[in-house]
Amino acid sequence: MSEIIRVTVWGEYLHERQDEKVRAIYPQGMHTTIAEGIREYLGESVVVRTATLEQPEHGLTEDVLASTDVLTWWGHIGHHLVADEIVDRVHDRVLSGMGLVVLHSGHWSKLFTRLMGTTCSLRWRDDDREVVWTINPGHPIARGVPPVFIIPEQEMYGEYFDIPQPDELVFLSSFRGGEVFRSGCCFVRGQGRIFYFSPGHETYPVYYQPEVRRIIANAVQWVYAPPAPRYATSTCIHSPLGWFEQEA
Ligand code: ZN
């Protein structure tokens, strides 16, 4: 018996409304397609809703976050439009146990750079294809994912990627120019699990690809921490051994 994971898929939803090419691929927005992929693979074990930048409080109200177990994040040209108080709120929720899946250009979001504590900058180039290698096949996020697969059209993201050393690395990508990139990285911050997954440039249909959908769905399950007693860091507790006199 497993519990139902409550997922909120956050999308900046700007390219899709400003750029015909992107709109043709994602007419309802990338967030809608990402949400469909999660539902496709996780079925009744999840409830998935979406939230976007333009909504009041970017759709991430206290109530929404309190009832979100896992948040996914896609942003790019609107990183600076995300209000600091909302970043504070989401950051706090991650530290207290909400799972977070950061996608593609979300690497430069206020939220991710703050959680990482580094610039999270990287090298990039247009018009390539990406070869994704599973380098940690025993990891839960790699379940059902082939040893290697190709994303036929993709932007190149390459090293050096200025992140802290990931706790676990699940995928490594390579490109035509010989570039490599740590494309699937796991982190823990406070009580929250974080997975960064780099595929997903807005001008290519990456979020329709089965392997990509499978990975995001697996990541939702991995970052999900079942409800458990939270330990408030400000609370003083006594040792279960009780008080004792120190030997002289
Ligand atoms: Zn991109």
Q: What is the C-alpha separation between 188 and 168, in angstroms, rounded?
A: 10
Which CATH number do you get for residue 135? 3.40.50.880
- Residue 95, judged by CB atoms within 10 A of its CB (0-12, 13-18, 19+), counts as middle
Instruction: Quickly count: other Cβ atoms within 10 Å of residue 85's Cβ.
Output: 9
Domain that holds residue 31: 5-247
| pLDDT value at residue 226 | 64
d(CA 60, CA 77): 19
What is the Cβ-side half-sphere exposure of residue 205, based on CA atoms within 13 angstroms? 9
HEC states along 48-74? EEEEECCCHHHHCCHHHHHCCCEEEEE
105 C-alpha to center of ligand 1: Å? 6
pLDDT at residue 9 tops 70: yes
pLDDT digits (tens, 9 = 90+) for 121-153: 999 999 999 999 999 999 999 999 999 999 999
Supply the pLDDT for residue 202: 97
CA 199 – ligand 1 centroid, Å: 8
Distance in Å, CA 198 to ligand 1 centroid: 9
Q: Are 40 and 50 in contact (CB under 8 A)?
A: no
Q: What is the pLDDT of residues 162-210, one digit of tens each?
A: 999 999 999 999 999 999 999 999 999 999 999 999 999 999 999 999 9
Q: How many domains does the chain have?
A: 1
Does residue 102 carry a pLDDT above 80?
Answer: yes
Distance 201 CA to ligand 1 centre (A): 4
CA distance linking residue 30 with residue 205, whole number of Å: 9
d(CA 128, CA 123): 13
Residue 195 corresponds to which tokens in the numbers above? Answer: 């997975």
d(CA 113, CA 223): 18
Q: What is the structure's pLDDT at 1?
A: 44
Distance 185 CA to ligand 1 centre (A): 18
How far does residue 121's CA lie from ligand 1's centre (Å)? Answer: 13
DSSP result, 89-158: HHHHHHHTT-EEEEEGGGGGSHHHHHHH-S----EEEEEEEEEEEES-TTSGGGTT--SEEEEEEEEEEE
Q: How far is the CA of 9 from the centre of ligand 1 (A)?
A: 18
228 CA to middle of ligand 1, Å?
36
Whether the pLDDT of residue 241 is over 90: the answer is no
**How far does the centroid of ligand 1 lie from the alpha carbon of residue 235, in Å?**
43
Distance 42 CA to ligand 1 centre (A): 26
CB atoms near residue 246 (< 10 Å): 4
| Contacts of residue 10, Cβ cutoff 8 Å, sequence gap at least 6 | 31, 50, 51, 52, 58, 59, 60, 71, 72, 73, 74, 75
